[in-house]
Amino acid sequence: MIEFDRVSKIFPSGAGSLTALHDVNLRVAAGEFIALIGPSGCGKSTLIRLVGDLEQPSSGSLRVRGKTPRQARLDHDYGIVFQSPVLYEWRSIRKNVELPLEIMGQPGPTRRARADELLHLVGLSDFGDAYPHQLSGGMQQRAAIARALSFEPTILLMDEPFGSLDEITRERMQVELLTIWDGGPQRTTVIFVTHSIPEAVFLADRVAVMSPRPGRIVQLVTIDLPRPRSFETREDPRFFALVSEVRARLREE
């Protein structure tokens, strides 16, 4: 689904340059949930911005569904969820979810039906007519996820979407995200950026451990916890063992 082949990204920096990513190699399978973890400034967000065509590689090859990232963007192959929900305050929650479909020119009844379907999926059926300021942070983030899924992308890019939430809300949102991910006709491919080791282990099929800048993927840890996962998963001895393994890999770097 997504293929990085020796991808590097260099940014201009004053009179010199800053290498954010160096020789990144990664293959992400269809329907896989990959978590990226590493120290601050290691290029995690830059990596998914490359997939989303928000930045361009300086060298190497990056293919998304066999296409360039630009073509994948034009074909609406992915949705993006940022740390902030970025909802429009003057639009209702339903209208926020409809926005990508509106931009794509879909008719009103089709947009509303799809928005209502997704609001039900994320547990916001009773809040379609509410406005963002009337919702909690967790509810706003669910609305942002619904919006990203509105046009049925095959790939979902998530850049620390729960980073600003309190711990209790964050754990609940992790469970809800996996319920949404499992709830469709087919699993969306997800790349998820996080600074939280337990979050990465709880959510992912594999955790990609990145080195300090310039960022490289130095370890891929397979998470063999059974699915579906629940609050009880966090009490499983295997969960603690995997958290310890990922933490050890980070320390090595």
Q: Which residues of 65-134 form beta strands (DSSP E)?
A: 78-81
Topology (CATH level 3) of domain 2-77+154-252: Rossmann fold (3.40.50)
- Record the pTM: 0.88
Q: What is the pLDDT of residue 185?
A: 63
**Would you list the DSSP string of 3-19?**
EEEEEEEEEEETTEEEE
Q: How far lies 106's CA from each of 17, 78, 79, 123, in Å?
A: 44, 18, 17, 24
Q: What is the pLDDT of residue 2?
A: 95
Q: pLDDT class for 63, splitting at 50, 70, 90?
A: very high
Write the DSSP symbol of residue 164.
T
Is 173 within 8 Å of 138 (Cβ atoms)?
yes
Is 132 within 8 Å of 89 (Cβ atoms)?
yes
The β-bridge relationship of strands 189-193 and 33-37 is parallel
Is 1 within 8 Å of 30 (Cβ atoms)?
yes
Q: Which residues of the chain form beta strands (DSSP E)?
A: 2-13, 16-28, 33-37, 59-64, 78-81, 155-159, 189-193, 206-210, 217-222
Chain segment 95-131, per-residue pLDDT in tens: 999 999 999 888 999 999 999 988 988 889 999 999 9
pLDDT at residue 51 greater than cutoff 70: yes
Is 233 within 8 Å of 202 (Cβ atoms)?
yes
Here the tokens at position 152 are 């049925």
Q: How far apart are CA 23 and CA 223, in angstroms?
A: 24
Chain segment 139-197, per-residue pLDDT in tens: 898 898 889 888 888 899 999 988 877 888 888 888 888 888 877 667 889 999 999 99
Instruction: Give ranges for CATH 3.40.50.300 in the chain.
Output: 2-77+154-252
Task: Name beta bridge partners: 34.
Answer: 191, 206
Q: Label residues 101-121 b or e (16+ Cβ within 10 Å = b).
A: beeeeeeeeebbebbbebbeb
Q: What is the pLDDT of residue 138?
A: 85
- Provide the percentage of residues in the chain whose pLDDT is more than 90: 66
